Chains A and B, each alone.
Chain A
Amino acid sequence: MSERSERTDRLSVTEHSPLWEVFVRARRGLSHTHVGSLHAPDAELALRNARDLYTRRQEGVSIWVVPAAAITASSPDEKDAFFDPAADKVYRHPTFYDVPDGVSHL
């Protein structure tokens, strides 16, 4: 048991459970909007996790998940000097999320 947990600690789990950006279509007629991110080892799990995490209150009719590493970002109104040297790291993604229009108040 201890041997296994040591092994797990050594493995960089980040590589094995990468970051995914989640986009939700709140209602028919609206475009998909970025709602947040999550970790999952593969796309299938990412999609299931997104459903549970970001649409617990039935906020969506359709979900996209995109590997954060596959996103190329630009920040048009920022000059190069504004980019921190670490800005290319995938986990420093440009936006966390917009609060979707369909969020209910409970």
Chain B
Amino acid sequence: MTPEQIHQKLQDKFGDAILEFGAEALDPFIKIEASHVLEICTFLKNDSGLSFTSLMCLSGMDYGEDANLGVIYNLHSMEKKHKITLTVELPRTEARVHSVESVWRTADWHEREAFDLFGIHFEGHPDLRRILCVEDWEGYPLRKDYVVQEFYHGMRVPYKEDWEDYETLAKNPERGHFVFQFESKVPDLVESMKNGKSAKNKSEDKSNG
């Protein structure tokens, strides 16, 4: 079936739940209402004319800091050899959509990944935990407005080459244990770095002179 026919079939069946059809896109997509995901997906899989038996990919998406989040379902039918992309947009503050784990088992881990990295909640998922990040990680890394946490269990997270910063960090009473361990060495390190740099500059100056 062509994407147009698939869209027509869904339009006839679900009516208002079908929001948009992108026939011109590289991968033709159908944008659907978030509240109807489960019924539409069940229909797509079980209907004999469509029989989308495989979910190729389920991806989370962040359309920008002020825009919505989204979920993209890339579907494929091994029997009929046709493809379609479903997209759903979700509000940033209340990103909730029904899980399709009961339709395609492979959605299980893909939804956990989207939850982990985008903070999209999949209702009815049997085991919605973080999968790639650790359980107590803060924030959702792939969101566009993500700010990495300063410390994780006392370990400094963002990597900085700036040794000056370590110096101020060492004086901070709420420092992490990494800095604490090397506290005595940090000023020396800073000095040696500075000296090393300045010595290098001097030698370059000499050679230039």
Decide whether A and B are members of one complex: no
Binding site for B on A (CB under 8 A): none
Binding site for A on B (CB under 8 A): none
